[in-house]
Amino acid sequence: MKKNKKAPDNELREEYKRSDFSGQLVRGKYAKSLSEASNIIVLKPEVAAAFPNGEAVNNALQSLIAVAQATTSLTKRSSVRGKKTRAA
pLDDT at res. 41: 84
Query: Region 55-60: what's the mean pLDDT?
Result: 94
Q: What is the mean pLDDT of the chain?
A: 80
CA distance 54 to 49: 12
Question: Is 64 a member of any domain?
Answer: yes
> By the 8 A CB rule, do 51 and 57 touch?
yes
pLDDT at res. 19: 80
This prediction has a pTM of 0.42
Question: Is 81 a member of any domain?
Answer: no
Domain residue limits at 62: 47-72
Overall number of domains in the chain: 1
Q: Of 10 and 60, which is predicted with more confidence? A: 60
CA distance 67 to 72: 9
